[in-house]
Chain A
Amino acid sequence: MKLLKITILILFAAVLIYASSDLPYRGDPDTVMHNARSITDTAVIGSYAIQESYTETRTPNMVTVILGDYRSIDTFGEQIVIYTAGLITILILRRRRREDEG
């Protein structure tokens, strides 16, 4: 049974590694997804970010520019989600401890 699991894992890894050999290079602007056009026939964000992110923000890391600048409201939402999780631990767990003590 253990041998079967290991074999399945190795086969799965082989499939994934074989599939990854077909991926485009990171940041290559000539790939299919970056040449796609939106329904209003404008360029999609991928090629725009690759071409303009450094000149617009002086930041070499494209991912940081997209997370912090182009999609910053989305990141703000993520932070609010984490903040809500922290508030809920205060509301639920802290009160129960106080009742146990009193």
Chain B
Amino acid sequence: MKDKIESPIVLLGARLLSPYIMVFGWYVIFHGHYSPGGGFQGGALLAASILLIRVAGGSKIGTLQLNEKINTPLAVIGVLIYFATGIAAMITGGYFLDYAFLPIPGMDPAWLRYTGILIIEVGIGLAVMAILIMIYDNMAMGEDRD
């Protein structure tokens, strides 16, 4: 893609839109208790905000924003947050993913389950975001380098 000139206007528009999409993605994740939304939808929005920069600015600018070496562990961390929540409830005496047994002091079981749902939604959001970016990176990144 050497013969094509990258448009600064498109990149500027993407830079304007991207933070708002990212904030809306976190809103969808954290407001999933009260409105439609949740980890998968919010994670897709977070991925959209980062992929917008990658599509508009090319692989060089995209790598500056979120490196592959940070992105791949993020997917693992997202899955591990979910799994660790389940195991933590199991260690303290409940079943796997029984949030009422989470080891957080000073909370009754109902609020513990509220918190547990919130923790796993964040884990799902991180994993979905990182994996969508990972799929785009492996399929399309490096195509415009040569």
A binding-site residues for B, Cβ under 8 Å:
55-61, 63-65, 67-69, 72-73, 75-76, 78-80, 82-83, 85-86, 89-90, 93-94, 97
Contacts and interface: CB of A to CB of B under 8 A. Distances in A.
B33 A79 contact: no
Contacts of A86: 75, 130-131, 134-135
B58 interface: no
A82 to B, nearest CB: 5
A69 B117 contact: yes
B138 interface: yes
B16 to A, nearest CB: 29
Contacts of A80: 79
Contacts of B110: 55-58
Q: Which 5 A-B pairs have the closest CB atoms?
A: A86-B131, A68-B117, A93-B138, A57-B113, A89-B138
21 contacts: A56-B110, A59-B33, A61-B32, A61-B34, A63-B38, A64-B33, A64-B121, A65-B117, A67-B38, A69-B113, A69-B116, A69-B117, A76-B83, A79-B128, A82-B127, A82-B128, A82-B131, A86-B131, A89-B134, A89-B139, A90-B72
A97 B142 CA distance: 8
A61 B114 contact: no
B7 interface: no
B86 interface: yes
Interface residues of B, number: 36
B131 A85 contact: yes
A46 to B, nearest CB: 19
B96 interface: yes
A64 B99 CA distance: 14
B14 interface: no
A83 B96 contact: no
A39 B61 CA distance: 59
